[in-house]
Amino acid sequence: MSVLRPLDKQPGLNTATILLVGTEDALLQQLADAMLKEDCASELKIHLARSLPLPSDVNRPRIDLIMFVVNLHSKYSLQNVEESLRHVDATFFLGKVGFLAMGAGQESHCSIHRNTVTKLANTYRSPLFFCDLEREGFRATVAQRLVRMLQICAGHVPGVSALNLLSLLRSSENPAPEDL
Amino acid sequence: MERRPGEQAAGEPADCGAGGGEGGDDEPPQGAGAQAARPEARLTLLLRLRAQTKQQLLEYKSMVDASKYFHFQISFYDKIEDLEKEVEEVKTAFEMKKLALDRMQLSIALQKNLEKIDPKTSVLMDNMKHVLKLNKLIMKSHQESWDLEEKLLDVRKKRLELKQSSENKLLEIQTEKNKQKDDLANMENSNKIKAMQRNLKMEIQITTVIQNVFQNLILGSKANWAEDPTLKEIVLQLEKNLATI
């Protein structure tokens, strides 16, 4: 199972699973804790991974949402994410993938330009969020957003699907098709 | 790098009665009240699960339908763009219609409201009058600023014209000066002047010779010309060097 496919397993009852992929372990852990603190009617399962592909010997539930976390201060995290993107099936990108860029606040430390990440998100037609994961208030906000997104991607919100959400998120942010 | 540092499974349902259907891993704080709440909570849970499974079934169905098209392998980008454009168009049309509908509803509500209330005393009328006043003010100030801009434009045009005409005049002056210089140079080089100069020189030489002859005549006659004033005058006149006049 070297490639992640979105709908290859039965969904768990009342369960929503998110996979956070990124090199910053401590911050991912804190984000996961913040997400768990959020009010949510369904059960949340959070998987953390440094990079894909995930080891195939473990029995894991169906993954509903993948968030790739890129640290704008280190080029290595961008490389890591780009490597991992190859192991994700194309059908995942219909709304079940998102990019989270952190560290955009300190311009002097940024070694990756914002445009690089924006282009990456545009190529994969996925939403891009900017967040400063080190401040607790912002982390809580992003956690809330992720939890809502996760609920929609897992199908727990009747009437809204992941694809719907994708086109809703797109209209305000990026005029992506013209660039391509 | 394929290590997986952590796998966290968290089961924290927010409403305390949600997991209580199995007879309570979470101990509900109230005693008997929770017993009554649990069947209702179970009902809500079941309804929610029903909605979830419906939605998930819809997703799977749509995936299955879509996968039938994946075999064609035509260029995806164009297709995606077309579909997205369609979605955008439908969305905007919907938004416009919603706006129009809202406006109609608003105007009808306004009408009914106006019919009910005495028009002279309502706050609405005051607001509307204020709005009209402000609009008039806005139009007036727009007009004024427009006039001022027009004037500014006129002044600028005139300035430009003046600049251009002054440029022209200076150019004319320059050409005139150049012409004069050229004429002067031409005149100096012309043949007539050269001939005239030659003649003049000749005449001067002839007169100088005549002067010398007369001088020598008077000197050779050995008359004392210093005493006689007329002779003196003649001799001195003959001394004039005609070349320097």
Looking at beta carbons, which residues of chain A come within 8 Å of B12?
A: 36, 43-44
CB atoms within 10 A of CB B87: 15
Question: pTM for the full model?
Answer: 0.53
Q: Could you tell me which of A121, A155, A175 has the C-alpha nearest to residue A16?
A: A155
**Long-range CB contacts (within 8 A, 24+) of A37-40:** A37/A140, A37/A143, A38/A143, A38/A144, A38/A147, A39/B14, A40/A16, A40/A147, A40/A151, A40/B14
Residue A98, H or E segment? strand A97-102
Say if the Cβ atoms of A161 and B5 lie within 8 Å: no
CB spacing of B49 vs A91 below 8 angstroms: no
Whether residues A43 and B56 touch (CB distance < 8 A) is answered with no
The minimum CA-CA distance between A138 and chain B, rounded to whole Å, is: 22
Closest Cβ–Cβ partner in A49, A154, A177 for B81: A177
Listed in order, strand segments (DSSP E) in chain B are 6-9
Cα dihedral B216, B218, B222, B227, rounded to 10, equals -130
d(CA B239, CA B207): 11
Strand partners, A17: A45
What is the residue type of A60? R
CA–CA separation, A63 and A7 (whole Å) = 8
Residue of A nearest to B85 (CA): A177
- Rounded to a whole number of angstroms, the distance from the CA of A127 to the nearest CA of chain B is 15
CA atoms in the 13 A half-sphere facing the CB of B96: 6
What pLDDT digit, counting tens, does each position of B172-192 carry? 999 999 999 999 888 877 878
Interval B36-81: pLDDT, tens: 568 888 898 889 889 888 888 888 888 888 777 766 555 677 788 8
Are A131 and A72 in contact, with CB atoms under 8 Å apart?
A: no
The packing angle between helices A136-153 and A25-37, to 10°, is: 70
Which residue(s) pair with B100 in the sheet? Answer: none
CA geometry: angle at B37 spanning B33 and B39, to 5°?
135
Quote ipTM for the complex. 0.73
CA distance B140 to chain A (A): 37
* A47 at interface of B, judged by CB pairs closer than 8 A: yes
Query: Which residue among B1, B48, B91 places its CB closest to the CB of A50?
Result: B1
B222-233 residue pLDDT tens: 777 777 877 777
Start-to-end C-alpha separation, chain B: 113
**Residue A49 · residue A77 · CB < 8 Å:** no
A46–B8 CB contact, under 8 Å: yes
How many residues appear in chain B? 245
Confidence band, pLDDT 50/70/90 cuts, at residue B20: very low
Which of B34 and B19 is assigned the larger pLDDT?
Answer: B34
Please state whether beta strands A65-71 and A15-21 pair in parallel, antiparallel, or not at all (unpaired). parallel
pLDDT band at B150 (very low <50, low <70, confident <90, very high): very high
Contact B5, A27 (CB under 8 A): no
Q: What Rg, from alpha-carbon coordinates, does chain A have? A: 15
Instruction: Select the highest-mean-pLDDT range: A91-100, B22-31, B76-85, B211-220.
Output: A91-100
Q: Picking from B27-41, B55-69, B82-96, B189-203, which range would have the lowest pLDDT averaged per residue?
A: B27-41
Whose tokens are 């009747």? That residue is A158
